[in-house]
C-alpha cells in the first residue's frame, strides 16, 4: 500500500514562524585583545556564543571568563596554526618548524614545531602527506582539553580557517 504524503497547513491565524539568529564569534583564546572584543560584543547582546581555540595563548583565561559571564562555547578546531595540543611526536605529519610564534612575536627559542599553516596544510593533505590517524589524535586531544578547561562538552564544533570543510 502507498501512503499519501502528509500535508502541513498553517492556519491563517497562526503567527509566522520565529527565526532565531545565533551570532558566534570564533578565535576566542587566541589573545587578550581579540578576546576582550568578543566579551564586549557578548555583553552588548551581539554575540550569543563563541568558539574557543584551546591551543591559543589566552585559552585558559578566556575559558574562565566565559564561565563567569555565561558565554556558550564550542570548540574552534585548529589544525592550521600554532602548537598542537597533542605531544608533537604523536602528530608529526601535522607539524613543521616555525621561526615565529603564530599569534605574536618571534619565538623566544628561535622557533618551534607548530601546525603547517593553512595553505601548507591543504597542500600536504591533498598530496596524502597528512596522517588521518594523527588528525584524529589531535581532534581528540583538543576535545579533551576543551572539557578540562570548561567541564562540559562543546555545544558546537567549527574549524579554524575553515579546516572543517576540507576533504
- Give a three-class secondary structure readout of the chain: CCCCCCCCCCCCCCCCCCCCCCCEEEEECCCHHHHHHHHHHHHCCCCCEEEECCCCCCHHHHHHHHHHHCCEEEEEECCCCCCCCCCHHHCHHHEEEECECCCCCECCCCCEEEECCHHHHHHHHHCCCCCHHHHHHHHHHHHHHHHHHHCCCCCCEEEHHHHHHCC
CA neighbours closer than 13 Å in the CB half-sphere of residue 11: 2
Annotated catalytic residue 26: yes
Greatest extent of the chain over all pairs of C-alpha atoms, in Å: 74
Which grid cell sits at 151?
A: 567541564
Among candidate residues 94, 85, 95, the one with its CA nearest the CA of residue 144 = 85
Domain ranges of the chain: 24-165
For residue 18, what pLDDT is reported? 75
Query: What are the C-alpha distances in Å from 93 to residues 53, 58, 116, 131?
Result: 20, 26, 9, 6
Q: Of these residues, 26, 27, 35, 57, which one is catalytic? A: 26
For residue 85, what pLDDT is reported? 97
Per-residue pLDDT of the chain (167 residues; tens, 9 = 90+): 455 455 544 555 556 667 678 899 999 999 999 999 999 999 999 999 999 999 999 999 999 999 999 999 999 999 999 999 999 999 999 999 876 555 555 555 556 889 998 999 999 999 999 999 999 999 999 999 999 999 999 999 999 987 766 66
CATH top class, domain 24-165 = alpha beta
Amino acid at each position: 500500500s502507498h501512503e499519501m504524503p502528509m500535508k502541513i497547513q498553517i492556519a491563517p491565524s497562526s503567527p509566522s514562524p520565529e527565526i532565531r539568529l545565533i551570532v558566534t564569534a570564533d578565535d576566542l583564546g587566541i589573545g587578550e585583545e581579540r578576546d576582550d572584543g568578543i566579551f564586549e560584543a557578548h555583553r552588548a547582546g551581539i554575540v550569543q556564543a563563541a568558539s574557543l581555540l584551546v591551543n591559543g595563548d589566552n585559552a585558559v583565561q578566556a575559558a574562565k571568563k566565559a564561565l563567569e559571564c555565561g558565554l556558550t562555547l564550542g570548540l574552534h578546531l585548529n589544525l592550521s596554526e600554532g602548537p598542537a595540543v597533542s605531544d608533537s611526536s604523536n602528530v608529526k605529519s601535522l607539524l613543521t618548524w616555525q621561526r615565529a610564534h603564530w599569534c605574536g612575536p618571534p619565538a623566544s627559542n628561535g622557533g618551534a614545531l607548530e601546525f603547517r599553516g593553512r595553505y601548507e596544510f591543504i597542500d600536504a593533505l591533498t598530496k596524502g602527506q597528512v596522517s588521518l590517524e594523527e588528525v584524529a589524535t589531535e581532534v581528540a586531544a583538543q576535545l579533551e582539553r576543551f572539557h578540562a578547561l570548561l567541564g562540559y562538552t562543546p555545544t558546537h564544533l567549527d574549524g579554524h580557517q575553515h579546516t572543517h570543510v576540507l576533504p
